[in-house]
């Protein structure tokens, strides 16, 4: 196998059945341009875990929703929440909060739940540590969420042949598997299993994969946006 092993500020670690990928980047300080969140309350949704942040070299590149990523705006990446969802991020150690809009996908790291922009990380004093224990709460859902599917990411490879061999095995066992590339990680092939219509169904598939390959298997659910 050809596991991916690199490091950038985005701290995206791809650990799966047979491969690991880690990515990180640098930072640049400016003043945040805060966009006030809409007042209408959103659905009841919260999640607790580890937050990370990312700045350069992603600043100025397209985000997953198609807009240009500006690390000095209060935005964030999440693996499954619809684009334009507003969430409040509570730092559980220093009690600071920041409100951000989801416009990107990630972090692709088992155990991490949100990837904040440089500006958002600065608001909760997270730049130095690089990560923090947080609770996120949806404060507003988008008026109209784009449709998509949910899959389970199980591996990341730089070698296409290795990725294709694993994809073939996963398809044979689970009925559906694909390879995917992401603009922010050129040259990397991700192996995604399944194509579920709900996040709960994809979580069930992830549980099956862990049961069959061991509880320490670090696969996770991702949303596949139709764009």
pLDDT (tens digit per residue) in 89-114: 999 999 999 999 999 999 988 889 99
162 and 70 co-located in one domain: no
Do the domain assignments include residue 154? yes
36 and 129 co-located in one domain: yes
Do the domain assignments include residue 196? yes
Confidence of residue 22 (pLDDT cuts 50, 70, 90): very low
How much of the chain, in percent, has pLDDT values that exceed 90? 65
Tell me: pLDDT of 216 over 90.
no
Do the domain assignments include residue 215? yes
Domain that holds residue 164: 148-225
pLDDT of residue 43: 56
Do the domain assignments include residue 5? no
114 and 170 co-located in one domain: no
CATH number where 213 lies: 3.30.70.1070
Q: Of 107, 140, 173, which one is at a domain's C-terminal end?
A: 140
Which range has the worst mean pLDDT, 3-7, 18-22, 48-52, 220-224?
A: 18-22
Can you tell me the mean pLDDT for 22-45?
Answer: 47
152 and 118 co-located in one domain: no
pLDDT of residue 214: 82
125 and 47 co-located in one domain: yes
CATH number where 108 lies: 2.40.40.10
Under a CB-based contact definition with an 8 Å cutoff, are residues 188 and 156 in contact? yes
d(CA 217, CA 212): 9
Tell me: pLDDT of 21 over 90.
no
d(CA 17, CA 218): 7
Tell me: pLDDT of 158 over 50.
yes
153 and 136 co-located in one domain: no
pLDDT of residue 1: 45
Domain count, the chain: 2
Backbone angles phi, psi at 88, to 5 degrees: -100, 130
Summarize pLDDT for 159-194 with one digit per residue, the tens: 999 999 999 999 999 999 999 988 777 899 999 999
Q: Is the pTM of this model over 0.85?
A: no
Do the domain assignments include residue 124? yes
pLDDT of residue 25: 36
Structure tokens at 125: 């004093």
């Amino acid at each position: 196998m050809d596991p991916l092993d690199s490091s950038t500020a985005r701290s995206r670690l791809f650990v799966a059945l047979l491969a690991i990928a880690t990515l990180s980047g640098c930072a640049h300080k400016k003043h945040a341009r805060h966009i006030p969140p809409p007042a209408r309350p959103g659905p009841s949704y919260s999640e607790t875990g580890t937050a990370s942040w990312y700045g350069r070299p992603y600043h100025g590149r397209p985000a997953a929703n198609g807009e240009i990523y500006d690390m000095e705006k209060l935005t964030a990446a999440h693996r499954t929440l619809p684009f334009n969802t507003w969430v409040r991020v509570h730092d559980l150690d220093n009690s600071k909060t920041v409100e951000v809009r989801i416009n990107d996908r990630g972090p692709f790291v088992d155990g991490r739940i949100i990837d904040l922009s440089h500006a958002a990380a600065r608001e909760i004093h997270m730049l130095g540590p690089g990560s923090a224990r947080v609770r996120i709460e949806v404060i507003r859902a988008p008026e109209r969420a784009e449709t998509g599917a949910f899959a389970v990411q199980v591996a990341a490879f730089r070698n296409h042949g290795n990725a294709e061999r694993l994809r073939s095995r996963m398809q044979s066992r689970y009925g559906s598997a694909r390879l995917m590339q992401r603009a922010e990680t050129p040259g990397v092939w991700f192996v995604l299993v399944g194509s579920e219509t709900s996040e709960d169904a994809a979580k069930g598939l992830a549980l099956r994969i862990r049961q069959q390959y061991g509880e320490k298997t670090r696969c996770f659910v991702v949303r596949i946006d139709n764009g």
